[in-house]
Homo-oligomer: A and B are copies of this chain.
Amino acid sequence: MCIMGVMNLLQTAGPAVDASCCVPSSKPALSVEEAQRKALVFKALADPNRLRLLSIVKAEESGESCVCDLTEPLDLGQPTVSHHLKILVEAGILHREKRGTWAYYSLVPGALDDVAGILSAL
C-alpha cells in the first residue's frame, strides 16, 4: 500500500486525499499452486533448443521424429536432446512412442493451443 507520508491524516480536502497511488482491487490473483503449474509449461518452452525441437517435430510430414534425426540439426549431444525431449513430454507438449529400437516423438494434439489458452485466461 502507498501511504505517502502521514497523508494529512485527518485533513478534509486537498489533493493529498487522492495521493494514494491506486486502489488495491484485492481480486484474488492466480493461486500459488496454479501459477506454479502453469509456469512449468512455460519453463518447458523457455529454451531455444526446445523451441527448435518443437519446430522440427511440427514440420515433419509424418508428424513424428526420432531422436537420431533431432540430434544433428541442433548440434547437441544425444543425452542433452533426450533431456530436452523428456522435459517437453513431462510438460504435456510432446508424446513419446517407442517402436522397436527407436523412439518417436510427436506433438500432443491441441497442446500448443492449450498453452495459448493459459495466456488468454490469465
Q: How far is the CA of A48 from the CA of B115 in the complex (A)?
A: 15
Which residues of chain A from 19 to 46 have a CB within 8 Å of any chain B CB? 21-25, 27, 29-30, 32, 35-36, 38-39, 42-43, 45-46
Number of copies: 2
Q: How far, in Å, is A33 (CB) from chain B's closest CB? A: 9
Q: Which of B4, B50, B58, B116 contacts A101 (CB 8 A)?
A: B4
0 or 1 for each of A51-81: is its CB under 8 Å from B? (1 = yes):
1101110111110111011001110000000
CB distance from A6 to the nearest CB of B (A): 15
Q: What residues make up the interface of A, taking CB atoms closer than 8 Å to B?
A: 1-2, 4, 21-25, 27, 29-30, 32, 35-36, 38-39, 42-43, 45-52, 54-56, 58-62, 64-66, 68-69, 72-74, 101-102, 104, 112-113, 115-116, 119-120, 122
Nearest-Cβ distance from residue A49 to partner chain B, whole angstroms: 7
Tell me the dominant secondary structure on chain A's binding face: helix
Contact assessment for B27 and A59 in the assembled complex, using a CB-CB cutoff below 8 Å: yes
| B48 engages A45 (CB within 8 Å) | no
The residue that A38 contacts in the complex, of B1, B30, B51, B69, with Cβ under 8 A, is B51
